[in-house]
Amino acid sequence: MASASKSGDATIGVDLGGSHVTAILAGEDGVVSHRSSYDITDLSIGAVVKLMSGAIRDVSAKVASVSAVGIGSPGNIDLRNGTVRYSPNFHWVNVPLGDELRAVLDLPIFIGNDARCATLGEHTYGSGKGVKNFVLLTLGTGVGGGIVADGTLLIGNSAATGEFGHHQIRATDGFICGCGKIGCFEAQASGTGLLRHVLDCAPSFPRSTLLGDKPYDVGSKAIRKAAEAGDPHALAAWNRFIDDLARGIANIIAFLNPDVIALGGGVSSAGDFMLDALRPKVEELTTMAPKGAAKIVVATLGNDAGAIGAAVMARRGGLLSSLY
């Protein structure tokens, strides 16, 4: 049982994912003691808010009192009120998530971008613990990220610092991104990007059975497993995916010269199969920082990183807090 649930000033962290909303109660040691999760696939904004507040009530019922709730949401967030200005993945524009939750919950609510929350979680308890210059890159349905420089999470002008997914790496020969641009890092190097490489390579592999009957439902894990097993179609797509991933990571190194870059999100479960292919390509593309200056590792908190980091954010009074 986490210390927060005993001391009575527990904080709750919430992760708003593409398919589920999950609320957790995490102690100051980062250990998760309670959890509640609901499927939000295909639900409206109103229904998502209802299930989110339900999940928060579920875990808050486990403790004497809750001091604050932190929520990690996709998209660009107005940190002053918790409005989601824009989320290309949810197709949300100006959704007043903070105000809607405050109307039904009598608790301080702090909202931040999900990947920035995950960065805070990994930097506080996981792969970035004690690292001065740290970058988290989340490779899931989309690509997100966060930057810690000199030990501090960077926020920027409008809480959009670390949007690595929407930097262009293939302006003329890339895939169309959900944000409307061509060849964004997210379009090329997310889980969805990996599937796009598979579809794009398909004409060269007429006998491939990789895509099966429902080509758009093939998951990134199945593609990676097939590549690991030596399927030529999967391997061709995987290599193109790794190429694009390496380019984006080398760009992050050129900009930020971090000590550690951790890879999180679903795709990072590929582990050493990914790292072994990735590291030499990143080295080759790193020309200004000394070779090997940036260690590339897999993040350690797994799916809980965002919710754990959201609880840290709530404990600190939000991302605008002077504590940062």
Which positions lie near a copy of itself, rule CB under 8 A? 76, 85-86, 88, 133, 147, 149-150, 152, 154-164, 166-173, 179-181, 247, 250-259, 285, 287-290, 293-294, 324
SS3 72: strand
The distance of closest approach from Cβ of residue 286 to a copy of itself in the complex, given in angstroms and rounded to an integer, is 9
Pull the structure tokens for residue 258. Answer: 């971090």
The distance of closest approach from Cβ of residue 60 to a copy of itself in the complex, given in angstroms and rounded to an integer, is 32
Nearest residue (CB) to a copy of itself, 84 versus 308? 84
Pull the structure tokens for residue 70. Answer: 């932190």
Dist. CA 22–CA 258, nearest whole Å: 31
Nearest residue (CB) to a copy of itself, 154 versus 297? 154
Nearest residue (CB) to a copy of itself, 187 versus 312? 187
Pull the structure tokens for residue 1. Answer: 């049982």
* Among the listed residues 81, 66, 68, 152, the one whose alpha carbon sits nearest the alpha carbon of residue 112: 81
The distance of closest approach from Cβ of residue 142 to a copy of itself in the complex, given in angstroms and rounded to an integer, is 11
Contact status, residue 109 vs residue 236, Cβ threshold 8 Å: no
Nearest residue (CB) to a copy of itself, 35 versus 167? 167
Nearest residue (CB) to a copy of itself, 178 versus 191? 178
The distance of closest approach from Cβ of residue 256 to a copy of itself in the complex, given in angstroms and rounded to an integer, is 6
Dist. CA 183–CA 195, nearest whole Å: 15
The distance of closest approach from Cβ of residue 270 to a copy of itself in the complex, given in angstroms and rounded to an integer, is 22
Q: Which residues pair with 69 in a beta bridge?
A: 12, 109
DSSP for residue 267: G
